[in-house]
């Protein structure tokens, strides 16, 4: 698959026909994801870090839930149930593989999403807080400052798009 995609990519570069730019972009994405899949597939069992977490049988079942629905009021019990394990086992696996417990990971993911929304600048801080799962702007402000060292308004000013 890799060899044929590279050959096709080189053909597109040589001919540069209408639509080549789009084709090249898609082929590069395919190459990237195939290389990533191969890399992750060769990681030793129990590898730490985000890519290792994807291959972990328990943490790997929890991450998609967190990433696809970060606004949900997740509990460790809900994530553990979805992963088919206990709260304590899931919490320990998160700490081993990602270096932090599940709820801390969730908070970090929410705040990462918030930085993208704040950089956009089209939403108020209260709107961003709600969109990433905080019930109040005050709770969001506290979490943001604790995680990023400054309140969201100051962060927005210093990181405007």
Could you read off the pLDDT of 98-123 as tens digits, one per residue? Answer: 999 999 999 999 999 999 999 988 89
| pLDDT at residue 136, as a whole number | 94
One-character DSSP codes across 96-145: HHHSS-HHHHHHHHHHHHHHHHHHH--S-HHHHHHHTT-S-HHHHHHHHH
What local confidence, expressed as pLDDT, does residue 124 receive? 95
In terms of pLDDT, which residue wins out, 88 or 159? 88
Cα–Cα dist 121/150, whole Å: 17
- Say how far apart CA 136 and CA 43 lie, in whole Å: 41
Distance CA 105, CA 44 (A): 23
Q: Model confidence over 46-89: pLDDT tens digits?
A: 777 777 788 888 999 999 999 999 999 999 999 999 999 999 99
pTM recorded for the entire structure: 0.73
The pLDDT of residue 160 is 73
d(CA 84, CA 90): 9
Query: How would you label 56-87 residue by residue, b for 16+ Cβ within 10 Å and e otherwise?
Result: bebbebbbebbeeebeeebebeebbeebebee
2's tokens: 């890799």
What confidence tens digit (pLDDT) does each residue in 11-46 have?
Answer: 888 888 898 889 888 889 988 888 888 887 787 777
Task: State how far the Cα of 161 lies from the Cα of 156, in Å rounded to an integer.
Answer: 9
- Residue 45: helix, strand or coil by DSSP? coil
């Amino acid at each position: 698959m890799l060899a044929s995609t590279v050959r096709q990519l080189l053909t597109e570069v040589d001919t540069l026909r209408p639509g080549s730019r789009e084709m090249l972009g898609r082929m590069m994405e395919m190459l990237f994801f195939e290389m990533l899949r191969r890399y992750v597939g060769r990681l030793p069992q129990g590898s730490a870090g985000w890519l290792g977490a994807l291959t972990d049988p328990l943490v790997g079942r929890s991450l998609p839930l967190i990433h696809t629905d970060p606004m949900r009021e997740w509990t460790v019990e809900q994530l553990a149930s979805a992963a088919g394990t206990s709260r304590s086992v899931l919490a320990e696996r998160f700490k081993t593989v990602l270096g932090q417990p599940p709820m801390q990971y969730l908070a970090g993911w929410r705040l990462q999403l918030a930085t993208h929304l704040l950089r956009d600048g089209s939403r108020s801080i209260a709107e961003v807080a709600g969109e990433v799962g905080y019930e109040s702007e005050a709770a969001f402000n506290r979490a943001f400052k604790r995680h990023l060292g400054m309140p969201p308004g100051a962060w927005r000013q210093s990181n405007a798009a």
